[in-house]
Chains A and B, each alone.
Chain A
Amino acid sequence: MSNPVGTAGAVTKKRRELDRAVVRFAGDSGDGMQVTGEQFTIETAWAGSDLATLPNFPAEIRAPAGTLFGVSSYQLQFGSQRVYTPGDRLDCLVVMNPAALKVHLGDLKPGGLLVVNTEAFEKRNLDKAGYSANPLDDPSLAERYRLHKVDMTGLTMQALQDLQLNAKEKGRCKNFFALGLVSWIYTRPLEPTLQSIKKRFAKNPVFIEANTRALKAGHAFGETAEIFSEHYSIEAAEMPPGVYRAMTGNRALAWGILAAGARSGLTVVYGAYPITPASEILHEISLHKRFRVRTIQAEDEIAAVGAIIGAAFGGTIGVAATSGPGIALKSEGIALAVMAELPIVVFNIQRGGPSTGLPTKTEQGDLLQALYGRNSECPVVVLAPRTPGDCFFVAYEAIRMALKYMVPVLVLSDGYLANGSEPWLIPDVNALPEIPVSFRTEKEGYFPYLRDPTTLARPWARPGTPGLEHRIGGLEKEHITGNVNYEAANHELMTKLRAEKVRRVAQEIPATMVNGPTPGDLLVVGWGGTYGAITAAVEDAQREGKSVASVHLRYLNPLPPDLGQILKQYRRVLVPEINLGQLVRVLRAEYLVDAVGFNQVRGQPLSTQDIHDAIDQVLEELQ
């Protein structure tokens, strides 16, 4: 799209065309790796590449500098073809200190590009990383990788020599030097970063100058230094036309909530207790009071769900997001909303567990909890987004379902989707489905538990409506009248009605998309954030001529009505998940299919290669 800002008079170096590249920036938590990665992402998006990102940072806010557990990284894959994942093995690794080298070197492909900030490789940092000798002095490193030792800190200091900043402040600009260098290596435009530096440091002109110089110095270094003999370009990807933006999962969720609020005409009440990795949704929504979204930072997870139940009783949309132990604390409240048949939506940004677990790492361990993890028969609708941008549509759909069926909806996002980003084609809001809302006002014949014949939803009679004064609660209700009732037959009827109501959501589910041949040897079934890795692996296998297809579920309760028929068209079903086998159990139980799992629980997204290997293994067994 735009040409890179280069320095004039430089030697022209060989530029090689690539289809795709996987780059990771890694350094200490204080080295600004997240900002560097985000900026590189924006540059890459500007250049028209498709991309997917994977930020990875420690749970500690200020982890001790130089330590292995204080390492923070940001990975992205970009390419001229459709990019489904942040990539498995790295083409290029940029490390800012010894700890980052130690943690990440294993992921670099043999012969991959290794760019190292040499300044940080001094005794103290080497000790902290557990190196007895400087690994850069080991000749085998340069034999296995294309090693580039660059004194980024020193070169940055030099570029900023005459600026009125102290040494520490100057040193801090080294991440922009690294960004400039990698931008040159992959021919990414600097403009978006230059603009963003101006915005970020608007109050501090000297920092604008410092970071701009560091960025350009890094870029110029790549162009002029003797050590880089070539650099790369990647053609713009073929993407559907339109206006794009970078979108993270958590922002997409927040905006989906705003869109559903605006479209339904209802006030949204968002209740939250701060918890990683869901807090950004609260931060984002809090910014947008103009959308009549009211946020409450509650005293605990229980109060947060309580507040949104109160809000739903009052005739508004109640929404909450949480994670890990937070969802456990919300179970009681969700069950009340099931009994009271009130529309709330609870987002679970799944993280590694159990208990506090791995707060900043991803997992898919909460599916069975979402489906069954409450006392008694307590059905809710369960949805899962598949990409960061998809979080927008799923949030919108979840609210639409909750309002239409007067039922709680749980949405299973995850840490990978929450923080990951992708280029997002901005949708036409008016093309989204309508969210009609009607409140009961007619006194004649009103009972709190009357039911709509199609959806089984009970009427929503808001307080403030004359003549409809009524009482509801967590005790079992009598069919129609809503009076407290303990009779055996009534309880069984109501239990079945609550289940049937959720089942009827199936009438909303569009025909399941099958990616690949029907029938075939193998169907790979996934849900949630593994979409990219599964799709990439399945398409790779298809290119190898294998009879493999995939289905990715958005609706987990109820399941798509056509799923059973689809499963039967394949000799084997493989279910990759970041847990010990949850969806696979559901599919086996629901459809009596001999589905097998591919499972990892490492706090990291599944890799395309691992899924591909699992596909090959299953196909081999079929031979």
Chain B
Amino acid sequence: MTTGTEAPKYTKKDFESDQDVRWCPGCGDYAILSAIQKTMPDLGVPRENIVFISGIGCSSRFPYYMNTYGFHTIHGRAPAIATGLRIARPDLKVFVVTGDGDGLSIGGNHLLHVLRRNVNVTILLFNNKVYGLTKGQYSPTTEFGKVGKSTPFGSPDRPVSPCLFALASGATFVARTVDRNVAHIEEVVRRAALHRGAAFVEILQNCNIYNDLAWNVLYDRESKIMHELRLQQGKPLIFGPMDDRRGLALDGVKPKVVRVKEVPAEKLWVHDETDPGAALALAGLQSPQFPTPIGVLAATEAPVYEEILLQQEQKAIADRGVGDIEHLLRSGDTWRID
């Protein structure tokens, strides 16, 4: 994935750029930035080999604040630009930072294809369910009926689930985390960054200006108990108060919430992140009837796009040697005029 160069011992500070951070005070992006800067030293990658690529939107200012290589590109196209960079330079560790509008509206097509191809990039999608930089229009993840600047009579759009979208696109790593849980962001992003292939992380993020507390059920200490489902590999899916734990079980292929004490232990749905079908079912759980899964939904293996390209190139060279332009120009039918 990256060069064999030994990375120096870094601290978080090494990844802070000299630019003033210019998100609104109270924005969830601050916590995410801090968590990701903190994760960087754990990757074992020399700083100069790390690149952050973003599109347009509040989240896409991210690269300016990372003391790595960075490219703030155009709306929705970061996955395409990152793909080209990986093809050109498979020695680099490439991150894509995007948002719900950038990644799922204007850039939905590119997101689909970077995941489908399994390009080795780590994609961080900040989901605040609103367009922030353009001042408060509804986004593709905004709930149906939401009143906003462009929808004074309620949004007529049905929302898309980022994790469902990623899984349906063939993503080999899909996870969800929350801006208010810095330790969890670090844990999930570390795993995502070390995944071989396209890793997709939805980070639920608060826009305190245009969509404050959109994820409040997951912030509030009380409601969180019934609404947050922490995923742990090989463990049953349980949540709820300690004295009356709830669990998920499958009725055929249909998920249902059960009281743990009322069902035999083997009836509980055990999390298996290597099963893409189960991940789809998990990602499809709708709040508030079901809790929101937090953690790694899927982690599977598949061939990596740019590695295949490189193998083809190396094989062509091994079979017939490096291309010789003089020889090529004279190949096929030629004739001499004296």
A-side residues, CB < 8 A to B, are 1, 42, 45-46, 48, 192, 195-196, 236, 239-246, 255, 258-259, 262-263, 267, 269, 271, 288-292, 294, 296, 298-300, 302-304, 306-311, 313-316, 318, 332-333, 336, 340, 426-427, 429, 462-475, 483-484
Q: Are A307 and B84 touching (Cβ within 8 A)?
A: yes
Q: Are B73 and A309 touching (Cβ within 8 A)?
A: yes
Q: A306-B84, A307-B87 are in contact. Are A244 and B72 (CB under 8 A)?
A: no
Q: Are A316 and B69 touching (Cβ within 8 A)?
A: no
Min CB–CB distance A350 → chain B (angstroms): 24
Q: Are A258 and B84 touching (Cβ within 8 A)?
A: no
- B157 CB-CB contact with A under 8 Å: no
A sample of 8 inter-chain contacts (CB < 8 A) reads A192-B333, A290-B321, A313-B81, A314-B84, A463-B50, A464-B89, A471-B63, A474-B73
Q: Are B110 and A291 touching (Cβ within 8 A)?
A: no
Cα distance, A255 to B336, chains bound together (Å): 20
Q: Are B80 and A306 touching (Cβ within 8 A)?
A: yes
Cα distance, A70 to B63, chains bound together (Å): 54
Q: Which residues of A contact B332 (CB under 8 A)?
A: 245
- Enumerate B309-338 residues with CB–CB distance to A below 8 Å: 309, 312-313, 316-317, 320-323, 325-326, 328-330, 332-338
Cα distance, A288 to B325, chains bound together (Å): 10
Q: Are A463 and B81 touching (Cβ within 8 A)?
A: no
Q: Which residues of B contact A302 (CB under 8 A)?
A: 77, 80, 110
Q: A463-B69, A464-B3, A466-B48 are in contact. Are A243 and B85 (CB under 8 A)?
A: no
Min CB–CB distance A537 → chain B (angstroms): 27
Cα distance, A299 to B110, chains bound together (Å): 7
Cα distance, A313 to B66, chains bound together (Å): 17
- B138 CB-CB contact with A under 8 Å: no
Q: Which residues of A contact B46 (CB under 8 A)?
A: 466
Interface residues on B, range: 35 or more
Q: Which residue in A296, A306, A427 is a CB contact (below 8 Å) of B73?
A: A306
Cα distance, A48 to B69, chains bound together (Å): 56
Report the nearest A residue to B334, measured CB to CB.
Answer: A245
Q: Are B335 and A471 touching (Cβ within 8 A)?
A: no
Q: Which residues of B contact A462 (CB under 8 A)?
A: 89
Q: Which residues of A contact B329 (CB under 8 A)?
A: 245, 255, 426-427, 429
- Convert B66-98 into 0s and 1s, putting 1 for each residue whose CB lies closer than 8 angstroms to a CB of A: 111111111001011111111111011000000
Min CB–CB distance B256 → chain A (angstroms): 38
Q: Are A45 and B335 touching (Cβ within 8 A)?
A: yes
Min CB–CB distance A354 → chain B (angstroms): 23
Q: Which residue in B17, B70, B317 is a CB contact (below 8 Å) of A290?
A: B317
- B53 CB-CB contact with A under 8 Å: yes
Q: Are B322 and A42 touching (Cβ within 8 A)?
A: no
Q: Which residue in A46, A263, A290, A426 is a CB contact (below 8 Å) of B316?
A: A290
- Enumerate B105-157 residues with CB–CB distance to A below 8 Å: 109-110, 112-113
Q: A464-B89, A475-B72 are in contact. Are A242 and B83 (CB under 8 A)?
A: no
Cα distance, A291 to B79, chains bound together (Å): 26
Min CB–CB distance A364 → chain B (angstroms): 28
Cα distance, A609 to B174, chains bound together (Å): 66
Q: Are A244 and B73 touching (Cβ within 8 A)?
A: no
Report the nearest B residue to A238, measured CB to CB.
Answer: B337
Q: A309-B73, A471-B17, A484-B64 are in contact. Are A291 and B325 (CB under 8 A)?
A: yes
Q: Which residue in B81, B316, B325 is a CB contact (below 8 Å) of A309?
A: B81
Q: Are A310 and B48 touching (Cβ within 8 A)?
A: no
A-B pairs, top 6 by smallest CB distance, nearest first, are A473-B72, A310-B84, A307-B84, A306-B80, A291-B323, A471-B70
Report the nearest A residue to B51, measured CB to CB.
Answer: A463
- B19 CB-CB contact with A under 8 Å: yes
